[in-house]
A and B are shown apart, each in its own frame.
Chain A
Amino acid sequence: MSIISSFLDTMAALARDSGFAGFFADGGWKNIVMILISFVFMYLAIAKGFEPLLLLPISFGMLLTNLPYADLYHPDFWNYQTVGGNDHYIDYGNILQHGGLLDILYMGVKLQIYPPLIFLGIGAMTDFGPLIASPRSFLMGAAAQGGIFFTFVGAAIFGMSAAECGSIAIIGGADGPTSIYVSSKLLTDKSTIGVGTIALAAYTYMALVPIIQPPIMRALTTKKERSVVMGQLRPVSKTEKLIFPILVTIIISLMVPSAAPLVGMLMFGNLLKESGCCDRLVKTAQNELMNIITIFLGVTVGATTQADKIMNLQFAEVMGLGVVAFSIGTACGVLLGKLMYIVSGKTINPLIGSAGVSAVPMAARVSQKVGQEEVPTNYLLMHAMGPNVAGVIGSAVAAGVLLAVVK
C-alpha cells in the first residue's frame, strides 16, 4: 500500500513541477499566448521567407523562454542595480553562477559583443566600390536617416521615455544589428518594451521592404524622374578600396566615438576583404563567425520577449511607429534624390535615394525593380548600392548620436 501511495505522491510532485502546471499558475496563460505568437513568427519565417535566418532563431528563443520552469532565461537577473554610485550595475557573477543557457548567451548582447561581430561579417561581404566611385551617394544615405529622428518625435508624443524613443526610432535605420545594439544599451528594466520587441519589429519590417517602399517611391516621383537612365560607374582601383575603410574608421570614430564599435568592425571586415591577403579570415568572418553569432543573437534576443513586454499597448505602438520610421526614412531618401536630380541637371534617378535606408541589399534591389518598371533596360542596382552601403554607415553614426545623447 505504501508503495502505491509514495508512487502517487511522486507523480503528483512531478506534475506540480512540470511545465504543464506552470501554464495554470498565476499568469501562466500569458505564456500560452506568447508561444502561439512565436508560432506566428515561425510561420512567417518558414512559409513566407521573412528574414528566416533571424526570425526563426528569434521565434524559437521566444518559445523556449516562455516554457514555464525551463529556466533558460531569467529577466530579473538583468535588472540594473545601484552599486557604488553606478546605477547601471549588472551582477554578471550571479548570472554566470545561476544563469540558464540563454542568460549566458545573452551576455553577448548586453555587453554589445554580437552586433559589432555581425558588422565584421557584413563588412567582409560589402563592396564599397559604388560608393567610392560616386561619393555623392553619401548624401542619400544620410538623408534616409531622417526617419530615425522624426520617429523619435513620434515616440515622444506618445509619452515614451527617452530610452524607448531612441530604441523605436533606430528601427528606421533598417539595420537589425544596429537596432539591437542601441536598444540593448538604452533600455532599462523600467522600460515597458524589451530588446526582443525592437528586434522583432526591425526584422519584420526589413522583410517587408519590397512592400513598404515602392508605393512611397512612386508617390513622390514623376514618371520622367523614374525614367532617368544612369550611365556606368567609373572603375575603382584597389588602393582606393584599401584606403576607404581606414579613412571612414578614423573620421567617424573621432567624430562620434560611440559609433566606433559598429563602424570600426564594419570597416575592419571590409579591409580584410579588400586586402586580398587574408582569405581565411575573410571566409570565417563571412561564414562561420557570422552564422554562429546570428544563432546566438537570434535565440537570445527572442528570449527577451517575455509576456509582459509584448502583451501591452506599447508593442502595438512599437510596430506602428516602426513602420512610420521606415516610411519616413524612405521618403527622406527619395526627396533628397529629387533634389540631387534637379541639382545634377537631371542625371540622377531619385529612385536610388530610397536605398539609403540600410537593409542591404534589399533596398537597392527595390530601386532597381521600380526603375525597371519604367525603363526595362535601366540598371540602377549598382548606383543604388552606393546610397545603400552609405546608409549602413549613416545608421551607425545615427546610433552613435542617440547613444551619446541619451545616457
Chain B
Amino acid sequence: MGNLWSSFITAATIDPNKKDLNAGTVSSVVITGIVVVFIGLILLILCVSIYGAIFSAAAKKKAAKAEAEKKAAEQSKEAAAKPAASPEPEPLIEDGIEEETVAVIMAAIAAMSASAGKKLVLKSVKTSRPQRSAWSSAGIAENTRPF
C-alpha cells in the first residue's frame, strides 16, 4: 500500500522551475490535490464519527446508570431517614468563636458532603496555633508562586 501510494504521488512530480506546464500535468495536479484532500478529510470524518458514536453511547449509558443510582439512593435515604431520627450531638465550640463562623464552616461542610454523597458531622471547632510565623508564610508564598 505504501509503495503504491508513494508511486502515485511521485508519478506526477514536476520540476519547480518548469514553465509552460501542459494541460495533462496541470489537470493531474488538480485531480490529485482535490482527491487527496477529500480522501484525507473523509477518513477523518469516519474516525471521528465512529469514536463520537462510541462516546455518546457510553455517555448515555453512564447518564442512565447515574439516574438509576440517584433514584435508588433517594429511595434508601427516605427509608433510612425515619429510624435515624436521633439528632447528632452538638459540636464543641471553643470560647471566642462566633456563631457566624461556625455557621459558615457547617455550610461549607454541607456543600462538600452533598457533592461527595456522604454525610459529614461537625464535632468541634477550635483555634489552631499558627504553624509558621507570618514572615515564613510570606517567604514560602513568594517562592512557590511561580509554580
Contacts and interface: CB of A to CB of B under 8 A. Distances in A.
B partners with A:
yes
Contact of A407 (B13, B27, B51): B13
A244 B37 contact: no
B107 to A, nearest CB: 29
B20 interface: yes
B108 to A, nearest CB: 26
A162 B47 contact: no
A135 B32 contact: no
Contacts of B16: 161-163, 166, 186-188, 191, 406-407
Interface residues of B, number: 38
Given A135-B48, A153-B26, A402-B33, A161 B17 contact: yes
B31 to A, nearest CB: 8
B40 A149 contact: no
Given A132-B52, A406-B13, A247 B44 contact: yes
A11 to B, nearest CB: 48
Which of A166, A186, A397: most chain B CB closer than 10 A?
A: A397
Interface in B68-90: none
Contacts of A247: 44, 47-48, 51
A139 interface: yes
Contacts of B10: 404
Contacts of A159: 19-20
A138 B41 contact: yes
Given A138-B41, A398-B37, A162 B14 contact: yes
Nearest to B5: A255
Interface string B51-73: 11001100100000000000000
Contact of B41 (A139, A149, A190, A243): A139
B45 A139 contact: yes
B32 to A, nearest CB: 6
A152 B34 contact: no
A146 B34 contact: yes
Given A405-B12, A405-B32, A251 B40 contact: yes
Nearest to A190: B17
A401 interface: yes
Contacts of B30: 149-150, 152-153
A152 B26 contact: yes
Contact of B49 (A135, A152, A401): A135
A255 B39 contact: yes
Nearest to B56: A234
A165 interface: yes
Most chain B beta carbons < 10 A, residue from A135, A150, A165, A188: A135
B15 interface: yes
Contacts of B55: 237, 239-240
Contacts of B19: 159-162
Contacts of A135: 44-45, 48-49, 52
26 contacts: A135-B45, A138-B42, A138-B44, A138-B45, A139-B41, A139-B45, A142-B41, A142-B42, A148-B33, A150-B30, A159-B20, A162-B15, A243-B51, A247-B44, A247-B48, A251-B40, A256-B40, A393-B44, A394-B41, A401-B33, A401-B36, A402-B33, A405-B12, A405-B13, A406-B14, A407-B16
Which 10 A/B pairs are nearest by Cβ-Cβ distance? A163-B16, A135-B48, A138-B41, A142-B41, A162-B14, A149-B33, A149-B30, A135-B45, A156-B21, A156-B26
